[in-house]
Amino acid sequence: METLLRPIYQERASEANTLGIIYVEKREEVSPITDTFDSILFILTKDADQPIFTKHYTFNDKKAAMHVITEKQLRKWLLLGSNPKLVDWLINGRVVFDRNEYIEDLRRELDEFPINGRKVRMGIEFAKLSRRYLEAKLFFEQRNFLDAYTLIVESLHHLARLAVFEHGMHPEVMVWKQVKQLDPSIYKLYDELISSEESLEKRLELLFLASEFLIHSRIKEGSQHILEVLTLKECWTIQEIHEQEELKNYSVDLEVFIEFLVDRGFIFIEKKPTKSDEIMHRYYKVK
């Protein structure tokens, strides 16, 4: 298949805007890494009118996909962790074109995983975890066990990704395969939840008890980024927090995460008067 695709990527390589090209072949019969395609052409560009451009090709019973991604879009996906296939492509794919060692430098950066980038990723992941976990507990208390189950599985997935970050690595598509090696205690929780013969209510009850410690023990590292940002000012309104550039990536999970950290004593409330004698402004601060 690569021989057939070579003229396509050679044409792209001749363009001054192209930073690098990676060729990926599927490693299994049905491969989540390549979205079931036989081959992937992953092309990185400096900029483009479209941040994401995709084409599909076919030859006999084979199929291939070409993804042209801008550097800005790549950085966004890597920061948010919203496209885990990229890490596999970047690390394990075969480089067929590399302008000024751009991909080599990118691979080195991924391997080193600088602490600042890791703190941001852990903060965003912990914010997602706190939301799903709190919602799961609420549904459990309301005896909506199926909804609680769905959300606690999601929260365990975020907990698993946090464990991978703690080891200085990037979560892959098959994150549970990673976690089984890196943190067996989290893997055991997940395995018991889905395979236990206990009633669903009992499984959830036991999991909430066990996961509380695992989550609590990670609050300090998971909240490090947001707490460091909030020390830049003495007090913040919630609107100021939303508008802070480094915190925009927390998105819809931001306010729940703030309240989670208030409940845990990491963020404090300062009340300031309004024009009303009964209502106070609510400001947020860290010591």
Whole-number average pLDDT of the chain: 92
Q: Does domain 115-271 have CATH number 1.20.120.330?
A: yes
Q: Does domain 2-111 have CATH number 3.40.190.10?
A: no
Please state whether 158 falls in left (phi above 0), alpha (psi between -120 and 50) or beta: alpha
* Residue-level pLDDT at 146: 96
Measured between alpha carbons, how far is 251 from 264 in angstroms, rounded to an integer? 21
* Residue-level pLDDT at 201: 95
* Residue-level pLDDT at 241: 96
Residues of the chain below pLDDT 50: none
Contacts of 271 (CB under 8 A, 6+ apart): 280, 281, 282, 283
Contacts of 89 (CB under 8 A, 6+ apart): 22, 24, 33, 40, 42
* Residue-level pLDDT at 206: 92
2-111 and 115-271, same CATH topology? no
Instruction: Break the chain into its structural domains and give their ranges.
Output: 2-111, 115-271
Adjacency order of strands within the sheet including 94-98: 52-59, 62-70, 39-45, 18-25, 94-98
Give 171-210 as a DSSP string: --SSHHHHHHHH-HHHHHHHHHHHH--S-HHHHHHHHHHH
* Residue-level pLDDT at 30: 66
